Structure 1
């Protein structure tokens, strides 16, 4: 199963995987250039792998949570490519990527994934890890770091709020972890093979907040002119 996966919920990343094995991968930590760099990156990956969009078995995309503008870029690209190539499109919560990384790093039991939500808040979700892998318990949510349950944490939220969040015990530092398309592709492949359940969702953005952009009063329907 050959999948293209895309995520733009934090930085931006893309990957080509076959049965979960990495063929090509790309990522950037920049958060304000998704529209300029993501499409060319996907094109370069396909060329480097010697495949075309019609060779794919599907497209997987991280649905967030994440900021409005960046998240829309990845989702719009995934929808456009899946439509153009007539391929199925699979959504996955972006935080599931970090949860999979935590499980692979040896985190056991209950833990939280927390990433930057700006406005002095974090996006977070509650997971449990055991011999079957990581599973979502509840979430995702957005709230101040101080309001999270007292559980071990992985993810970039640790860097921002070390006084409120406590890192999970792993060999590598989990405080810089952000979602990545490689893990989304691996999760999608496992879900499509029937190895895990409850991971795939509709490819719709998971914002968790109202937009900062408001329609001017004079443009609202029925507003006096």
Structure 2
């Protein structure tokens, strides 16, 4: 039996570090943009938003994102959920940005882009799925910006595709969107594992 996502901690370490605690309708958010200090920043930010007392679930961003930062958030979420006996769910940052895009635009499709470094982008295309979820129409991949042919409106880190003539909506992640998607998917009986989405091998595994 699943636990309602009523008292929820959301964690994202895909770029900087962002956390949110949602208790019923009360929302507290804290973030640190430094992309290289996830391990140092995550615990203080969790404390800043209210800690882990009386939670019933944790939602964590599963990427796609570079290896080092992403694993900090996922490992922390797994450890906390196991220690505290909490429900745990993973949500893609691409899904979250797509949902934010539909909230702004009202219709799709949208193509999400985020920074994959090495002059590449993570990207996927989506249609809306009701008012609180999205449906993948082109699966996530990591490619050169020059090779991306967007479907519909570009959303996310659109500055990385400055030469594109597609309509564009710049967006930054609102980490509370993870909770919104997790609630919708839980109600629909959709499983949400926390397997990280790297989309390419980490640097330490490259020859």
Aligned equivalents of 2:206, 2:156: Cα separation in 1: 34
1:187 aligns with 2:181: yes
Q: Which residue of the other structure, out of 43, 53, 56, is the alignment partner of 1:39?
A: 43
Give a deviation string over 1:94-129, Cα, whole Å, max 9, x none: 111111111111241211000000111100111013
Name the TM-score, length of structure 2 as normaliser: 0.87
Query: How many residue pairs end up in the alignment?
Result: 200
Aligned equivalents of 1:126, 1:100: Cα separation in 2: 11
Shift of residue 204, structure 1, vs aligned partner = 1.4
From the superposition, tell whether residues 181 and 131 of structure 1 become closer, same or farther in structure 2 (CA, over 3 Å): closer
Aligned positions of 1:109-148 closer than 5 A: 109-129=108-128, 132-133=131-132, 134-148=134-148
Give a deviation string over 1:51-80, Cα, whole Å, max 9, x none: x43x11111111000011110111111111
* Other-structure match for 1:210: 201
Do 1:109 and 1:130's aligned partners in 2 also have CA atoms closer than 8 Å?
no
Name the TM-score, length of structure 1 as normaliser: 0.81
Shift of residue 186, structure 1, vs aligned partner = 1.5
Aligned positions of 1:21-60 closer than 5 A: 21-46=25-50, 52-53=52-53, 55-60=54-59
The runs of 5 or more residues in structure 1 that have no matched partner are: 169-173, 217-225
The runs of 5 or more residues in structure 2 that have no matched partner are: 1-5
* Other-structure match for 1:14: 19
Structure number with higher relative contact order (C-alpha < 8 Å, ≥ 6 residues apart): 1
Give a deviation string over 1:140-188, Cα, whole Å, max 9, x none: 11111122223220011x11221036333xxxxx32x233321101111
* Other-structure match for 1:155: 156
From the superposition, tell whether residues 101 and 22 of structure 1 become closer, same or farther in structure 2 (CA, over 3 Å): farther
Aligned equivalents of 2:165, 2:22: Cα separation in 1: 33
3-state SS in 2 of match to 1:105: helix
From the superposition, tell whether residues 29 and 166 of structure 1 become closer, same or farther in structure 2 (CA, over 3 Å): farther
Do 1:5 and 1:59's aligned partners in 2 also have CA atoms closer than 8 Å?
yes
Query: CA RMSD, aligned part only?
Result: 2.1
From the superposition, tell whether residues 143 and 215 of structure 1 become closer, same or farther in structure 2 (CA, over 3 Å): closer
Aligned equivalents of 1:115, 1:208: Cα separation in 2: 13
Aligned equivalents of 2:46, 2:198: Cα separation in 1: 24
* Higher alpha-carbon deviation: 116-125 or 27-36: 27-36
